């Protein structure tokens, strides 16, 4: 069965490594914080100026001066720090943040990503996404395999305006874990109960499929 949003987040959380500083984008990526594997310690960076972001506050304890990059009220953990936006992006551009997890509208087989604009329809802006994808060593994209019309979002080439070029290394969807290398998608894992055939049929980009594709262990 295809994963739900929490399932995607849970699978991505398995990629976290002890001691990493991690930036989580808005949407599914935010849920990754709920599934940190036992025994490892990671610290979350929010580009509006926090290291050491904690969970949502208890009702009545919201502080309007303390929000995350999605403008949600949050808290901080012991050992947190605040800083200005230039310092925040120095952390990101300077590769002091080890992992970026973000959403996408489209991803292509050479690692391009599009997630900020649909010409003529929707223009919200790129926020920090272009800085993040241009600099992060590890970028994992959390997304749905196809759009609401059933068209694949895992493409040979992106059709929407790009956010970054050749930067995505790994994609986790409701159906599969894909790695991007040498200009192709590589099918690493499939969601429990999902067939390789279904993944192939919903992937427009070129994809290398090994003889045996293990199921995700969630």
Partner 1 sequence: MNKVVKDPSAALEGIQDDMTLMVGGFGLCGIPENSIVQLVKMGVKNLTCISNNAGVDDFGLGLLLQAKQVKKMISSYVGENDEFERQMLSGELEVDLIPQGSLAERCRAGGAGIPAFFTPAGYGTEVAEGKEVRIFNGKPHILESALTADYAIVKAWKGDTEGNLIYKATARNFNPMMAMAGKITIAEVEELVPAGTLDPNHIHTPGIFVQRIFQGDYFEKRIEQRTVRTKQ
**Sole binder of partner 1 in the list 7, 25, 29, 49 (CB under 8 A):** 49
Rounded to whole angstroms, the Cα distance separating 26 from 32 reads 11
Scanning the structure block, which residue is given the tokens 């262990």?
217
Rounded to whole angstroms, the Cα distance separating 203 from 207 reads 8
**Sole binder of partner 1 in the list 19, 56, 200, 201 (CB under 8 A):** 56
Positive or negative: CA dihedral 188, 95, 105, 84: positive
Nearer to partner 1, 134 or 218 (CB): 134
From the list 43, 47, 106, 204, the catalytic residue is 47
Active site residue 174: no
**Sole binder of partner 1 in the list 16, 33, 51, 74 (CB under 8 A):** 74
Residue 58 binds to partner 1 (criterion: CB under 8 A): yes
Rounded to whole angstroms, the Cα distance separating 101 from 108 reads 17
Residue 36 binds to partner 1 (criterion: CB under 8 A): no
Give the alpha-carbon dihedral of 119, 125, 126, 128, to 10 degrees: 180
Q: Which residues contact 96 (CB under 8 A, 6 or more apart)?
A: 21, 90
**Sole binder of partner 1 in the list 86, 149, 150, 197 (CB under 8 A):** 86
Active site residues: 47
Residues in contact with partner 1 by CB under 8 A are 46-50, 55-59, 61-74, 82-86, 88-89, 92-93, 112, 120, 123-131, 134-135, 161-166
């Amino acid at each position: 069965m295809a994963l739900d949003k929490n399932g995607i987040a849970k699978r991505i959380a398995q990629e976290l490594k002890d001691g990493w500083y991690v930036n989580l984008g808005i949407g599914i990526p935010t849920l990754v914080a709920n599934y940190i594997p036992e025994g490892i310690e990671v610290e979350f960076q929010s580009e509006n100026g926090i290291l050491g972001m904690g969970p949502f506050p208890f009702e009545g304890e919201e502080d309007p001066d303390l929000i995350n990059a999605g403008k949600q009220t949050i808290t901080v953990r012991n050992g947190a720090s605040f800083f200005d936006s230039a310092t925040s992006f120095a952390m990101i551009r300077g590769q002091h943040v080890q992992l970026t997890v973000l959403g996408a509208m489209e991803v292509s087989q050479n690692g391009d990503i599009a997630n900020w604009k649909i010409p003529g329809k929707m223009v919200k802006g790129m926020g920090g996404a272009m800085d993040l994808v241009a600099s992060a060593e590890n970028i994992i994209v959390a997304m749905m395999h196809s759009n609401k019309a059933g068209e694949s979002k895992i493409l040979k080439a992106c059709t929407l305006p790009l956010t970054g070029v050749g930067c995505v290394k790994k994609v986790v969807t409701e159906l599969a874990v894909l790695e991007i290398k040498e200009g192709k998608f590589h099918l690493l894992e499939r969601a429990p109960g999902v067939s390789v055939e279904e993944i192939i049929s919903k992937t427009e980009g070129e994809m290398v499929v090994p003889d045996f594709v293990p199921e995700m262990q969630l």
